[in-house]
Structure 1
Amino acid sequence: MPLLVTDYSWTQTETTVYIHVPLKGTAAGKVDVVSTDEYLKVHFPPYLFEAFLFEPVNDDRSSAKIREGEAVISLSKTTNNMWRHLMRDTDDKIKKMQVRERALLKYQEKLCSESRSKAEKQRAERKYALETMMKLEQEERHSIQRIKDTERQRTTTEMETWQLRQKQRAEEKSQGKLHRDDQNKLRAEKQPQGHSGQSDRKQPADLPAPRTSRNIQVTFTPRVFPTALRESRAAEEEEWLRKQAEARRAVNADVEELGDLKEEDRNPEWLKNKGDKCFMTGDYLSAVNAYNLAIRQNKRIPALYSNRAACHLKLGNLHKAIEDSSQALDLLIPPVAANAAARARASVRRGSAFCRLQLYAEGLQDYQAALKIDPHNEALQTDTQRIQDIIQGSAAKTH
């Protein structure tokens, strides 16, 4: 049999009733609150607080908050007046049981309605995510088709131009040959009879027209790091390029484990793009799965860990976000201009996770590191200053 709570307190205004129920050391997760328009129950085994309210209340506008050591229930009155008592003055057990049963039935109906609303919302969100994904894929297909059509049109135009030139050259050669034949015939008619033997001399065959000259444009790959010579960090830059090349060649997954995967699912870059699209549509779990599969195949791509850290931040997996951000920063060594933006993103993501864990000193270090890379970023400046204010405020309270 539960122990009834009698050491509660209550206050009121003309519009609201406030009830304070001590929880007697019970954790917040073990407190069950049931509230309807005429009944209130706060159950935290083995204790029970039960109230048959003096007047009906507006349950939709009422609320309950679980604080350290107490539950605070705010009940919105249906009429603006002051209650003489919190509870009805009756000892009729049958009437109380009827009120309790009606309240529990209403509460169950409310829970079912909320569950249906939540399920409907989730279905709508999944439908929206699917439609967004299909729209992105359709736009990508249209973009690829436009590129193909443009390339096909360009190739067709070049082919038609080449055929026209070939036709013009053939006509020019034909006219030149007729002109030479007329000259040879005229020369033969003017030549004396005694020299007829020379006229039978074989004429040289017509030579093909010389090929038209064309210029071939040769481009060279520009240097990735346009750093002045006196400030050059050639050794670090070459080391970063070498690590990038190794990362592109690296494949760590066991061939047997990948035997059931499609061809595209064996491509880390394709999986990364798939994860990025899922993240954009809010499907963070699918994005994490895509990044996980990509990391199984190639553990040396920093963007996979950094992007997975962003997903964990959205899902509230703060410790995993810190771990992935740290792994990304370890792979972004040596620090050079080409990976500066990636280092800033990973630092901000780790700093955000630290701050959400209330480890503000560690978070401030990461934000300052990102701000050092991008000193003109106003958003970074604002966030860094806010963290500093929180730390200073905490230090002032301790003194």
Structure 2
Amino acid sequence: MPLQVSDYSWQQTETAVFLSVPLRGVCGRDADVFCTDSYLKVNFPPFLFEVFLYAPIDDGSSKAKIGNDTIVFTLYKKEAAMWESLSLSGVDKEMMQRIREESILQAQETAKEAAEAKAAAKREDQKYALSVMMKIRESDAQNRSDWDHNRRPGQSRRKIADNYTRPKGQQLPKSKDEKAGRGRKTRQNLTRNLASRNLATKGRNSENIFSEKLKEASVPPPRSVGTVQISFTPRVFPTALRESQVAEEEEWLHKQAEARRAVNTDIPELCDLKEEEKNPEWLKDKGNKLFATENYLAAVNAYNLAIRLNNKIPLLYLNRAACHLKLKNLHKTIEDSSKALDLLTPPVADNANARMKAHVRRGAAFCQLELYVEGLLDYEAALKIDPSNKTVQNDAEKIRNIIQGTELKS
């Protein structure tokens, strides 16, 4: 028996509907999404989500993005109007079954038309390729017939190629005297080239000998003898290693560390602090003042020490997340916001403001990492806590526009 998903959320404009369906462990390869102009279904065993839409949509241009245990749908309306609800009201089982069957038949018809269009386009491409090949073959046959027509009886095709490729006015030597003169000129050129090559080789040899003499003259003399001072790190125990008992020494050091940890003296930052400075609340107020003066690094150090003294105060993590967001430490912002949300339990009216700030800061960090779907989920969670917050509403609308591709990333 599939589990029906009912805790979805949706928002709309006059032209589009934004639907967010939470599914634990959902991924793109296992989720089965089926959508027509009046019906939407998501099958991800053991979860099932289906909705009979209030008005027709353009299923061809609608989009779905899967990630972070959520599917976000962007459904574009065929007619610009505000819907009274997401699904039809007063739909009985027979009408549901009829809509399902009509949607399946519509999807099959659409798939059949797409396959026929693809096959027709393939046939046109094959017909065009065949016509081009026929034209190429006809052109080759015409060239071969022209070639054979111009050839004289007993003349080879190479002679014809020579006649075609030899430029006008150029003739080969025909007499023996011309051939002999060409041979003499060739031998003279070879002799002249060999002589110039020998001169160049002698010049290079002389240059090599001269450079080698310069290298021998520039060799530095051997360095003089000197001494190097070496200082060794002193051991904890002054006894020599061959006379000491390493196991007993390690045990003693371990006991000393345990004793310092028991009296809470293993925090170096506490050694030089006054008694009032060891109070986490005092450190929190100090961090808030440093944050107000935009000294974010010092504020982070104050919150770090307060958390080491008491790691159960959620406002310390929330304030440190704000500092990390200013310093562009986005992953640390996400960690601190998540830790603050874990400590802000149970969700009551007294901690509503802190929970909203944690969602907004984590959502802002996700958006700066270009994880807009995860950021939108945190902004929607913040709007559930405070629906009248105009700033959060505007930021959420901008994130939706970025996901749809209608607004540039900033």
TM tier, smaller: 0.3 to 0.5
Q: Looking at CA atoms only, which structure, 1 or 2, has the larger radius of gyration?
A: 2
| Normalised TM-score (structure 1) | 0.36
